[in-house]
Amino acid sequence: APVSLLSRFRGALAAAVLGDCVGGEFEGAEEVPLDRVLQHLSGLEDETRGDGILQYSDDTAMMRCVAQSLLTRMGFDEQDMARSFAKEYSLAPGRGYGSGVIQVLRKLASPHLNDVFQPARAQFGGRGSFGNGGAMRAAPFALAFRNVADVMRYARCGAMLTHSCSLGYNGAVLQALAVYLSLQGDLAIPQKFISKLISEMEEMENDETAHNDAKVLKLAEFPYCARLHRVKELMEQNSVSIEEVILKLGNGIAALESVPTAIFCVLHCLEPREGLPEHYGGLERTIAYSLALGGDTDTIACMAGAIAGAHYGIDVIPQSWLKCCEGAEEAEQLANRLYKLYSIMQTEG
């Protein structure tokens, strides 16, 4: 049966939280044997584990702020979103935030701040952060706006509240775009999906600031497009090793080293793969595969989860897995509310 749009909305946010919660176990691990991943995941089926035993991290905390702010303001309001991030951080500073972004979040709490984008611009010697913190929370933008230009524009602005380097905010744009296309059912034709991502990112990266950042950081001229072309090449290969994925796409905390990787995880797991249990569906494969890459596992699984969840919908996510994740239920509720907002926008044109 076709997957309803509401099911896709709920799947996107719930699977993002799932990825964050189950990925926390391996964050920063260099190599994660598949056996350990599968053991970790099958442990979630144990009834005695109790509700919400796996805590969410900064990825989910900030994604919730984005969704909440888009809902209460019925659109993007930078002041409100900035305040929401700052408040969330002050209430729960121990969620594993990046070491740089903490300074931004502290400054955003100041009542005397006029320009909410200024603290982000002061990061890392004035170039801004290229971390994946903008991308990890970008999914709700794809659920809040009808057309692709708005999704991209506001995902960019929302990321710039903490990540002013083009590598940081363009990673967020790419992640929001991937979720958006997945919601539309575009993953049914993977080649079309990746080609659309490349053509949109060609436009995003055709920009003086982006070219300059790429040059300073000694990257290809169109860094995201270059990575997406590698994703395409890996898709065309008969077999791909974990080592090759890490080498060609990365698994690190930089947005460039993780957003294209998350996209690859989803595409690679559309089909059954050797080493992954036969009873796993695509969503379960995507989560397991993301963890097996090691590195920034919570964030890569969170981003891959959002894209995959938007494709498969909520109904195929194992209930036992969701039950173990703190905040999974709230994510579904936020998705329900975003769906309502989306429906209103649709009728009003």
Q: Does 253 engage in binding with ligand R7I (CB under 6 A)?
A: yes
User: Which of Mg ion, ligand R7I, none binds 186 (CB below 5-8 Å, type-dependent)?
Assistant: none
Which of 186, 213, 284, 298 contacts ligand R7I by CB under 6 A? 298
In the shown chain, the binding pattern of residues 11 to 50 toward ligand R7I, with x for contact by CB under 6 A and - for none, equals: ----------------------------------------
CB of 102 to ligand R7I, least distance (A): 7
Residues in contact with ligand R7I, counted by CB under 6 A, come to a total of 21
Q: Does 127 engage in binding with ligand R7I (CB under 6 A)?
A: yes
The two three-digit tokens of residue 33, written as one number: 């044997």
- Amino acid making up residue 179: V
User: Which of Mg ion, ligand R7I, none binds 130 (CB below 5-8 Å, type-dependent)?
Assistant: ligand R7I
Which of 76, 89, 130, 280 contacts ligand R7I by CB under 6 A? 130
Question: Between residue 186 and residue 245, which ones bind ligand R7I under the rule CB under 6 A?
Answer: none
Residue 314 contacts residue 332 (beta carbons within 8 Å): yes
Q: Does 129 engage in binding with ligand R7I (CB under 6 A)?
A: yes
Three-state SS sequence of the chain: CCCCHHHHHHHHHHHHHHHHHHHHHHCCCCCCCHHHHHHHHHHHHCHHHCCCCECCCHHHHHHHHHHHHHHHCCCCCHHHHHHHHHHHHHHCCCCCCCCCHHHHHHHHCCCCCCCCCHHHHCCHHHCCCCECCCCCCCHHHHHHCCCHHHHHHHHHHHHHCCCCCHHHHHHHHHHHHHHHHHHCCHHHCHHHHHHHHHHHHHHHHCCHHHHHHHHHCCCCCCHHHHHHHHHHHHHHCCCCCHHHHHHHHCCCCEHHHCHHHHHHHHHHCCCCCCCCCCCCCHHHHHHHHHHHCCCCHHHHHHHHHHHHHHHHCHHHCCHHHHHCECCHHHHHHHHHHHHHHHHHHHHCC
- Applying CB under 6 A, the span of 8-16, 74-82, 292-300, 306-314 interacting with ligand R7I comes to 292-300
CB of 298 to ligand R7I, least distance (A): 5
Which of 14, 41, 44, 58 contacts ligand R7I by CB under 6 A? 58
CB of 229 to ligand R7I, least distance (A): 24
- Applying CB under 6 A, the span of 44-52, 86-94, 144-152, 296-304 interacting with ligand R7I comes to 296-304
Question: Between residue 92 and residue 111, which ones bind ligand R7I under the rule CB under 6 A?
Answer: 96, 98-101
User: Which of ligand R7I, Mg ion, none binds 133 (CB below 5-8 Å, type-dependent)?
Assistant: ligand R7I
User: Which of ligand R7I, Mg ion, none binds 99 (CB below 5-8 Å, type-dependent)?
Assistant: ligand R7I
CB of 129 to Mg ion, least distance (A): 14
Instruction: Return residues touching ligand R7I (CB under 6 A).
Output: 57-59, 96, 98-101, 124, 127, 129-133, 136, 165, 253, 296, 298-299
